[in-house]
Amino acid sequence: MAIGMLRPGARLAALALIAAGVGMAQKVISAKAGLVYFVEGHAAVAGSGPLAAGEVNRQLNPGEILFSENGRAEVLLNPGTVLRIGDRTAIRMDRVELTDARVSVEAGSAVVTVYQAPKLDRVEIGIGGAVVKMEGAGVYRFDSDGSDRGALRVFSGQAFVYRENGVYREGGASQAVAKRGQAVRLQDLQVGKFDVKAADALQQWAETRGAPPPWTPLPPMQRLSPPAKTPEFEAWLKECGQR
């Protein structure tokens, strides 16, 4: 239906949405966690087909799986947190609430960089039957072989790890805390050390990519303002009211 065929009130709302949309197109817009905003090489969403390389604005819905073949992808989890996946990696978006996001690393490798940690926002990573909460800004590396024999490495920051549902192997721990230079073996939550300077291609790529683009959460409908009431606009409204 053309805008001119709508009632004046509806036309105002439509024009407001159009005007807002023009401005929004220049930024990354999302009201949810799990926005795929950049792809390099070959990546796809299961059941939805491949994603174009370059800048992408593809919102992952709960339960959707993003996977890469020979490629990498960046996913915004909140305004200050980016998850980057490497080759032959699969992640599942479990929760998309901005204040309570959760992603599962099904297989492969991912780097989560927390540039800033909003006080009210929580991001959890599920991997190998464990759950990882990142406490504060830092760089966190996740590696999974599809079983519970994965690992978490903390390049900077601090992470709290616990076994999902409290189930853990005999002789293992039910929870662990890892700081800079520490790694957690997920099968038993044992903590060890590693060399933070031993970075592979994914780690180096994540570092060179830098901070995410400006994030503008989608504003509620009531916050959208109508176009400025210029004399021409007033005349147009008057003309519409006479039709």
Kindly indicate whether the domain formed by 29-213 is annotated with CATH number 3.80.30.20.
Answer: no
Q: Could you give the CA distance from residue 226 to residue 33 in angstroms, rounded to a whole number? A: 28
pLDDT in tens, 62-112: 999 999 999 999 999 998 899 999 999 999 999 999 889 999 999 999 999
Q: What is the chain's alpha carbon radius of gyration, rounded to the nearest angstrom? A: 22
Please report the pLDDT score of residue 5 as a whole number.
Answer: 43
Measured CA to CA in angstroms, residue 76 lies from 4, 60, 68, 112, 236 at distances of: 38, 10, 16, 10, 42
Please report the pLDDT score of residue 172 as a whole number.
Answer: 61
Which residues in the chain come in under a pLDDT of 50?
A: 1-26, 219-225, 243
Please report the pLDDT score of residue 200 as a whole number.
Answer: 92
The full set of domain ranges for the chain reads 1-27+226-243, 29-213
Please report the pLDDT score of residue 122 as a whole number.
Answer: 87
Please report the pLDDT score of residue 237 as a whole number.
Answer: 65
Please report the pLDDT score of residue 169 as a whole number.
Answer: 54
Cβ atoms of 159 and 167 within 8 Å: the answer is no
H/E run at residue 24: helix 8-24
Please report the pLDDT score of residue 51 as a whole number.
Answer: 95
Please report the pLDDT score of residue 11 as a whole number.
Answer: 41
Please report the pLDDT score of residue 233 as a whole number.
Answer: 66
Please report the pLDDT score of residue 138 as a whole number.
Answer: 95
Percentage of the chain exceeding pLDDT 70: 72
Q: HSE, CB side, 13 Å, CA atoms: give it for residue 4.
A: 4
Please report the pLDDT score of residue 194 as a whole number.
Answer: 94
Q: Does pTM surpass 0.95?
A: no
Cβ atoms of 159 and 119 within 8 Å: the answer is no
